[in-house]
């Protein structure tokens, strides 16, 4: 039986129906990873033994009559999430020997739910990148075209799901790191509201922007994953105490009468005609389903990237100070004194992009520059948030492209950090505002997938998932697989 | 804002990052370009805008003063580069 | 040149919470290295802080005790610096929005004068771990048990003008935080540490001179010594026409000198910014009032009450109120005995001497306040002489008994106060020592009081446990009858 092409929802139903066991599908996926992942490089660690043990335990649990929706369903984690006893590298040489001594809260959530973790997925180093070229473990290839990037930083999560190595994966999004790779790989990516999913055990890049989420094949699977991940965590001060709905319950609600806002700044001439067309077509589908469309303005959109490249580096410059070669992680050979230990461990352990961002942050926060950079960026951040707050007075949901172009080729932006940063132009403002966003496949340009971005009001994930699911009931972009993968 | 090479070295020092001398020029260019990008912010009038550190205007939650942790030294020190006698070892620190 | 000394202190007081400021690890002192450092304290990748409510309450309590403004919105910032005992590479502290704003305390100076010292602010922050330099073959060992212990850093205005004033201020702060029960005050364990900012300026000059900071002085005595040493050093430099470098120095108590710290040679750029892992701490007036309702009587109020209610002198009241446990002990014993003056003399005298001699804290004293009270009652009702009382006190201290009256009996210390019995003994002594009597009678009137001495000795030799006052009265009466 071929099981690798199944979605999470299908696997859950099949396991319930006894079509196959968790051990069987786990074995098949592990074999598939072994056979095919050398092409994509999506996994950093494959946890064969643990996965099989979890699958057997899940099958036993089912036999005992204690199965729930997730019992025995395989998935995998981005390597940014700490997994007790399993290597957790964050894509960096700095943590290339870091066997995490504890589980991230969401890892624990999936373990408790009975899910089977196949391993840890490749990513841009410390989640800094939009192409997965900054990983110490090498670039991840886009299954749609292995000459092209899968996007980043959750490139491993996207490539693994697109290549049908795993039905769904956790991911994280600080400036677009879920939505952009999902768009590049023809997948559904969900970045929840800041605070909806615990950050405990997710290695911090920019604490006030980071949010864990999902990359799956469709909205229904995203809802199933979010059901496991969302919720209050007493270990995270920024986690929100707020009821978690069953996100699958409202998937089939009608979207008739829903008002869609189209921000004019996101449909400028900078976006190619091809890309515009795909997104416009998707909006037309919504109109057919009874949604109303309204043009809106988010006037501070152009300031999102500059503000982000002050705030994220500033926070990361402090967050990554703990990587000092003292208590865990990489330590340089024969440090001659403590300063040498710090400088060489960090100089050798971090890649160039990470070093650049640490330095930008240190500079922005340093004496005499704080007001001009950090404080200014925090003020602009509020202007950007206010744009969205007032927009949501008039509309239920905002839609836009996810990326300016489809997946680009390796090396295209590698030597120009600023050009790379501009790739995130449509995704980054949401992180500054803390809003939920979703990427849904909505077309193709030159045979490469294109994503539609759905932006929701705070804690309106259920609406995003509902809108995504309804779109996927009338379109088949989410069913398309890369060539040679079925 | 363009940085000169000494500034690049100073920031690297402050950040405890050893940079390869041959890379200084490249860092200088890239960092200057990034600062140029963020310099767009200076044109914005933010005189009455309160800085926003968190996306949600939430308030710090408090934890009860209860000891919940047990000794896990062995577990944590298994992953340490160098330990002796329960201590993390570093080159001698001068005060 | 006449110089004026300007001193400001920064006191770090460890808050007496059970768990750390941002984690559930124990703060107990003295555990084996790194056995009380969890994932959060170690700064492992991915961990997050959650703020301890008791640390907040204690800091507010302190603010109210020094009559300060309370920060209804306080914000944690990150102070960035690399040091091996700082596991995250930054310290979580409060820069712009501290929990406690401007307040003040009064210190007592010699001659019963008091002086008001303003407190600029007090903020919450986390303690660092410890570096151990001995026993690691040229390396340093890092122990992070202390990392994350809650601290209040109390910053004074530069209003002290002598090392004595600084020591008095440090003592007063110690007394306040221990009264409040927010710090155990154990200086030997580093529960309170003092950074002293010292500068000199020509008398009459308005601008401050360049200051140096002496880090981590940890006893009252050393605060005074370190500052005096530093004053002398600065004065020598200035009188030689030199300039003072703004720098951080360490005090070496053995050599009684300060030296510049090498690790602080490079001026640090701390790059403070609001900690994104912690949200603003918001409290309301209701919370503040609820904390205020829990404030105990503070040293100044107690001192005033000891004077007005118990008739103690200012100095006695100041000494007895400086330590809350001592004050409670004194009051309990005094109340039982009904004599506050005897109790004050005993607590400041024999009790303190015994504590010092045995190096025992008042909290661990083997003689309870109830026992001391019972003992003092027996002095008051003349059952015991002072000497006898000391014997009973020692017996209690050594655990030879627990009941004062039983000890008086078993030690045979009951005083004879019966005048008739004493008159018989005195008569006998006078009859047995005619020469001494003759000598006494030849002594001029004005020197006779002193000449009674030998008779007292003889009476007490003849009969143990006689009340000396009664003996004196009877002797004087009998001798005057003789001429
Ligand atoms: Mg202590
Ligand atoms: Zn401090």
For C193-237, the DSSP string reads: EEEEEEEEEETT--S----EEEEEE-SHHHHHHHHHHHHHHHHHH
Do A349 and A335 touch, CB atoms closer than 8 A? no
A346:B15 CB<8 A: yes
Q: Which of A117, A134, A153, A154 is catalytic?
A: A153
- Backbone dihedral region of A72: left (phi > 0), alpha (psi from -120 to 50 degrees) or beta? left
Tell me: pLDDT of C29 over 90.
yes
Whole-number Å distance, alpha carbon A183 to ligand 2 midpoint, is 48
Residue C265: pLDDT band (50, 70, 90) is low
Decide: B46 and A380 in contact? Cβ < 8 Å: yes
- The encoded tokens of residue A321 equal 């100070």
d(CA A309, CA A418): 10
Give, as residue ranges, everything with CB less than 5 Å from ion ligand 2. C 153
**Residue predicted with more confidence, C68 or C416:** C68
Any bridge partners for residue A43, and if so which?
A: A121
Give the best residue of A239, A363, A384, A420 to mutate against chain B (max B CB count within 10 A): A363
Q: Report the residue from B65, B84, B87 with minimal CB separation from C19.
A: B65
* pLDDT over 90 at C478, yes or no: no
Which of A320-324, A356-360, C146-150, C440-444 comes out lowest in average pLDDT?
C440-444
User: Is residue A147 predicted with pLDDT exceeding 80?
Assistant: yes
For A398-441, write each residue's pLDDT tens digit: 999 999 999 999 999 888 899 889 889 999 999 999 999 999 99
Q: What mean pLDDT is predicted for residues C376-397? A: 90
Q: Distance between CA atoms of C326 and C302, rounded to whole angstroms?
A: 12
Of C50, C51, C89, the CB nearest to A324: C89
Which run of H or of E encompasses C92? Answer: strand C90-93
* ipTM of the complex in this document: 0.97
DSSP three-state, residue C240:
coil
Q: What percentage of chain A has pLDDT greater than the value 90? A: 95
* Residue C263, pLDDT score: 65
First to last CA, chain B: 37
Q: Is the confidence at residue C475, as pLDDT, over 70?
A: yes
Order the strands of the C130-132 sheet from edge to edge.
Answer: B83-84, B87-91, C139-143, C130-132
pLDDT in the model for residue C222: 95
As a whole number of angstroms, the distance between CA C248 and CA C268 comes to 12
Residues of A in contact with C138 (CB under 8 A): none
Cβ of residue B52 closer than 8 Å to a chain C Cβ: no
Give the phi and the psi of residue C92 in degrees, each rounded to 5: -85, 120
pLDDT at position A360 over 70: yes
- Could you say which of C48, C78, C276 has the minimum Cβ distance to residue A200? C48
Q: What angle do CA C125, C128, C129 make, to 5 degrees?
A: 150
Is 90 exceeded by the pLDDT of residue A22? yes
**Contact (Cβ atoms closer than 8 angstroms) between residue A182 and residue A451:** yes
Q: Which ligand is nearest to the CA of C18?
A: 1
pLDDT tens for residues A57-83? 999 999 999 999 999 999 999 999 999
Could you report the per-residue pLDDT of A445-474, keeping only the tens digit for each?
999 999 999 999 999 999 999 999 999 999
| A164, B70, C72 from C222: Cα distances, Å | 70, 37, 36
For range C265-284, the mean pLDDT = 91
What is the side-by-side strand order in the sheet with C248-252?
C103-109, C113-126, C150-156, C3-14, C192-202, C212-217, C248-252, C257-260
Taking the centre of ligand 2 as the mean of its atom positions, its distance from the CA of residue C79, in whole angstroms, is: 10
What is the Cβ-side half-sphere exposure of residue C13, based on CA atoms within 13 angstroms?
Answer: 29
Q: Which ligand does the CA of C185 lie closest to?
A: 1
* Ligand number, closest to the Cα atom of C28: 1
Contacts of A259 (CB under 8 A, 6+ apart): A291, A292, A293, A294, A394, A395, A396, A397
Whether the CB-CB separation of C393 and C360 falls below 8 Å is answered with no
Euclidean distance between CA atoms C440 and C437, whole angstroms: 5
Q: Do B76 and A101 touch (CB under 8 A)?
A: yes
Centroid of ligand 1 to alpha carbon of C190 (angstroms): 6
Tell me the pLDDT tens digit for each residue of C193-214: 999 999 999 999 999 999 999 9
Instruction: Out of C48-52, C121-125, C441-445, pick the least confident.
Output: C441-445
Rounded to a whole number, what is the distance in angstroms from the first to the last CA of chain C?
A: 70
The stretches of chain B forming alpha helices (DSSP H) are 5-14, 24-38, 73-77
Given a cut of 90, whether residue C108 has pLDDT beyond it is: no
d(CA A323, CA A136): 15
**Chain B residues touching residue C262 (CB < 8 angstroms):** 94-95
**Cα B79 to Cα B90: distance, rounded to the nearest angstrom:** 15
Cβ neighbours of residue A133 closer than 8 Å, sequence gap 6 or more? A124, A139, A149, A152, A410, A411, A414
Q: What is the pLDDT of residues A231-253, one digit of tens each?
A: 999 999 999 999 999 999 999 99
Asked if pLDDT for residue C394 goes beyond 70, the answer is: yes
User: What is the per-residue pLDDT for A113?
Assistant: 98
- Per-residue model confidence as pLDDT tens digits over A250-281: 999 999 999 999 999 999 877 889 999 999 99
Range of weakest confidence among A182-186, A354-358, C139-143, C357-361: C357-361
**Average pLDDT value for chain C:** 92
**Of these residues, A6, A78, A120, A191, which one is catalytic?**
A78
CB within 8 Å: C281 and B77: no
Q: What 3-state DSSP class applies to C78?
A: strand
- Please name the residues between 83 and 102 in chain A that touch chain B, using a CB distance below 8 Å: 97-99, 101
Contact between C48 and A237 using a beta-carbon 8 Å cutoff: yes
Interface partners of C (3+ CB pairs, < 8 Å)? A, B
Is the model's pLDDT at C232 over the cut of 90?
yes
Contact A321 C277 (CB under 8 A): no
**Band (C424; pLDDT cuts 50, 70, 90):** confident
Report residue A230's pLDDT band, with 50, 70 and 90 as the boundaries.
very high
Q: Any catalytic annotation for residue A42?
A: no
* A207 in active site: no
Q: Is the predicted pLDDT of residue C27 greater than 90, yes or no?
A: yes
Q: According to the model, what pLDDT value does residue C472 have? A: 81
For chain B, say whether A10 makes contact (Cβ under 8 Å): no
Residues near C108 by beta carbon (within 8 Å), at least 6 away in sequence: C114, C168, C172, C318
Output the six-digit token pair for C141: 């060992």
Closest residue of chain B to A381, computed from CA coordinates? B52
Contact in structure between C319 and C327 (CB atoms under 8 Å): no
Residues of chain C in contact with residue B53, where contact means CB-CB under 8 angstroms, are: 274, 276
- Strand pairing class (A397-401; B87-91): unpaired
Q: Are C132 and C92 in contact (CB under 8 A)?
A: no
Q: Considering only residues A255 and C385, tell me which one the structure prediction assigns the higher pLDDT.
A: A255
pLDDT of residue C70: 98
Q: How far is the CA of C266 from the centre of ligand 2 (A)?
A: 18
For residue A350, pLDDT over 80 is answered with: yes
CA distances from C114 to A64, C110, C169, C227, C311 (A): 78, 8, 11, 21, 20
C-alpha A326/C-alpha A341 separation (Å) is: 8
**What's the mean pLDDT in C17-31?**
98
Predicted local distance difference test score (pLDDT) of residue A118: 98
Which residues of chain B are within 8 Å of residue C19 when distances are taken between CB atoms?
63, 65-69
Tell me how far the alpha carbon of residue A325 lies from the centroid of ligand 1, in angstroms.
29
Q: What sign has the CA pseudo-torsion A175, A177, A178, A179?
A: positive
Which residues of chain C lie closer than 8 angstroms to A201, CB-CB?
A: 46-47
* CA dist., res. A364 & res. C383, Å (int): 80
Q: Give me the pLDDT at residue C466, please.
A: 77
Tens digits of residue pLDDT in C283-319: 999 999 999 999 999 999 999 999 999 999 988 998 8
C47 touches chain B (CB under 8 A): no
Interacting residues of B61 by C-beta distance below 8 A, sequence separation 6+: A234, A237, A241, C50, C51, C279
Measured CA to CA, the distance from residue C33 to residue C62 in angstroms comes to 31
A6 annotated active-site: no
Neighbours of A457 (CB within 10 A): 20
B64 — pLDDT class (breaks 50, 70, 90): very high
Nearest chain A CA: its distance from C78 CA (Å) = 8
Residue C428: pLDDT band with limits 50, 70, 90: confident
Res C266: pLDDT: 65
Paired tokens of B24: 């200084």
Distance CA C184, CA A437 (A): 51
Averaged over C443-459, what is the pLDDT?
A: 80
When pLDDT is cut at 50, 70 and 90, the band that residue C449 belongs to is confident
Q: Ligand 1 centre from C79 Cα, in Å?
A: 24
C residues 109-148 near B, CB within 8 Å?
Answer: 131-133, 135-136, 138-144
Contact B76 C34 (CB under 8 A): yes
Q: Which of A413, A352, A409 shows the shortest CA–CA distance to A150? A: A409
Between C322 and A365, name the one with better pLDDT.
Answer: A365
Closest ligand to the CA of C188: 1
């Amino acid at each position: 039986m071929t099981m690798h092409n199944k979605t999470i929802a299908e696997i859950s139903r099949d396991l319930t129906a006894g079509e196959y066991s968790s051990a069987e599908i786990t074995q098949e996926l592990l074999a598939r990873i072994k056979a095919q992942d050398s092409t994509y490089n999506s996994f950093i660690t494959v946890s064969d033994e643990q996965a099989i043990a979890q699958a057997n335990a899940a099958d036993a649990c089912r036999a005992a009559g204690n199965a729930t929706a997730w019992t025995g369903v395989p998935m995998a984690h981005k390597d940014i999430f700490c997994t007790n006893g399993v290597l957790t590298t964050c894509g960096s040489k700095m943590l290339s020997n870091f066997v995490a001594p504890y589980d991230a809260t969401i890892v624990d959530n999936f373990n408790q739910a009975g899910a089977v973790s196949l391993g840890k997925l490749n990513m841009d180093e410390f989640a800094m990148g939009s192409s997965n070229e900054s990983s110490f473990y090498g670039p991840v290839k886009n299954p749609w075209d292995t000459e092209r990037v899968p996007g980043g930083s959750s490139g491993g999560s996207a490539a693994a799901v697109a290549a049908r190595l795993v039905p769904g994966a956790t991911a994280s999004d600080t400036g677009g790191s879920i939505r952009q790779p999902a768009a590049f790989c023809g997948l559904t990516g969900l970045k929840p509201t800041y605070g909806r999913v615990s950050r405990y055990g997710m290695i911090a890049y920019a604490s006030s922007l980071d949010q864990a989420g999902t990359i799956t094949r469709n909205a229904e699977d995203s809802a199933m994953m979010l059901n496991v991940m969302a919720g209050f965590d007493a270990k995270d001060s920024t986690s929100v105490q707020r009821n978690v709905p069953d996100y699958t319950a409202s998937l089939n609600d009608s979207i008739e009468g829903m008002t869609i806002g189209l921000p004019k700044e996101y449909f400028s001439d900078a976006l190619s005609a091809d890309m515009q067309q795909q997104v416009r077509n998707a909006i037309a589908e919504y109109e057919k389903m009874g949604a109303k469309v309204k043009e809106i303005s988010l006037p501070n959109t152009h300031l999102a990237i500059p503000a982000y490249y002050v705030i994220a580096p500033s926070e990361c410059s402090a967050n990554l100070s703990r990587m000092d070669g003292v208590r865990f992680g990489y330590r340089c050979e024969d440090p001659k004194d403590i300063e040498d230990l710090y400088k060489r461990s960090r100089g050798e352990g971090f890649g160039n992009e990470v070093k650049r961002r640490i330095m930008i942050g240190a500079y922005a926060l340093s004496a005499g520059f704080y007001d001009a950079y950090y404080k200014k960026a925090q003020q602009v951040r509020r202007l950007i948030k206010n744009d969205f707050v007032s927009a949501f007075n008039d509309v239920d949901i905002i839609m836009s492209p996810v990326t300016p172009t489809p997946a680009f080729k390796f090396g295209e932006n590698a030597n120009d950090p600023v050009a790379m940063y501009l790739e995130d132009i449509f995704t980054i403002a949401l992180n500054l505002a803390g809003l939920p966003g979703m990427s849904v496949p909505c077309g193709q340009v030159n045979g490469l997938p294109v994503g539609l971005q759905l932006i929701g009001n705070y804690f309106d994930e259920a609406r995003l998932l509902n809108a995504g699911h309804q779109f996927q009931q009338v379109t088949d972009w989410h069913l398309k697989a890369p060539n040679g993968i079925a | 804002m363009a940085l000169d090479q000494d500034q690049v070295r100073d920031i690297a020092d402050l950040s405890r990052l050893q940079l390869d001398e041959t890379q200084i020029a490249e860092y200088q260019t890239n960092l200057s370009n990034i600062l140029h990008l963020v310099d767009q912010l200076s044109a914005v009038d933010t005189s009455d805008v309160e800085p926003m550190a968190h996306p949600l205007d939430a308030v710090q939650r408090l934890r009860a003063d209860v000891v919940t942790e047990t000794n896990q030294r062995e577990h944590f020190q298994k992953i340490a580069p160098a330990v002796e006698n329960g201590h993390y070892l570093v080159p001698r620190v001068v005060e | 040149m006449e110089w004026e000394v300007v001193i400001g202190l920064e006191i770090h007081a460890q808050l007496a919470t059970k768990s750390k400021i941002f984690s559930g690890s124990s703060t107990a002192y003295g555990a084996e290295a790194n056995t009380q450092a969890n994932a959060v304290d170690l700064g492992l990748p991915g961990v997050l802080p959650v703020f301890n409510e008791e640390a907040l309450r204690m800091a507010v309590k302190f603010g109210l005790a020094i009559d300060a403004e309370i920060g209804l919105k306080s914000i944690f910032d990150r102070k960035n610096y690399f040091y091996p005992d700082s596991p995250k590479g930054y310290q979580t502290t409060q820069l712009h929005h501290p929990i406690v704003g401007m307040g003040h305390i009064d210190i007592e100076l010699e001659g019963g004068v008091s002086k008001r010292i303003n407190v600029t602010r007090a903020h919450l922050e986390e303690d660092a771990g410890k570096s151990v330099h001995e026993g690691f073959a040229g390396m340093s060992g890092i122990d992070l048990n202390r990392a994350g212990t809650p601290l209040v850093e109390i910053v004074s205005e530069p209003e002290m003008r002598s090392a004595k004033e600084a020591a008095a201020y440090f003592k007063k702060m110690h007394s306040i935080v221990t009264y409040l029960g927010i710090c155990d005050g154990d200086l030997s364990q580093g529960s309170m540490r003092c950074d002293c900012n010292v500068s000199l300026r020509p008398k009459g000059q308005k601008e401050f001179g360049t200051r140096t900071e002496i880090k981590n002085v940890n006893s009252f005595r050393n605060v005074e010594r370190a500052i005096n040493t530093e004053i002398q050093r600065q004065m020598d430099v200035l009188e030689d026409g030199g300039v003072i470098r703004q720098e951080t120095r360490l005090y070496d108590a053995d050599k009684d000198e300060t030296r510049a710290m090498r690790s602080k040679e490079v001026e640090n750029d701390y790059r403070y910014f609001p900690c994104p892992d912690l949200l603003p701490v918001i409290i309301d007036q209701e919370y503040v009032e609820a904390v205020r309702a829990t404030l105990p009587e503070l040293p100044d109020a107690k001192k005033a009450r000891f004077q007005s209610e118990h008739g103690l002198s200012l100095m006695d009241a100041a000494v007895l109120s400086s330590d809350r446990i001592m004050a409670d002990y004194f009051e309990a014993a005094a109340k039982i005995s009904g004599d506050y003056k005897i109790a004050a003399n005993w607590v400041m005298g024999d009790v303190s001497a015994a504590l010092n001699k045995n190096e025992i804290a008042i909290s661990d004293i083997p003689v309870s306040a109830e026992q001391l009270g019972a003992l003092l009652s027996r002095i008051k009702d003349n059952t015991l002489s002072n000497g006898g009382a000391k014997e009973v006190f020692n017996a209690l201290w050594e655990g030879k008994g627990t009941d004062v009256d039983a000890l008086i009996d078993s030690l045979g210390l009951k005083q004879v106060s019966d005048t008739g019995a004493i008159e018989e003994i005195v008569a006998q002594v006078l009859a047995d020592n005619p020469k001494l009597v003759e000598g006494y009678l030849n002594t001029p009137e004005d020197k006779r009081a002193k000449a009674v001495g030998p008779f007292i000795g003889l009476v007490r030799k003849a009969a143990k446990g006689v009340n000396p006052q009664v003996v004196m009265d009877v002797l004087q009466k009998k001798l005057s009858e003789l001429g």
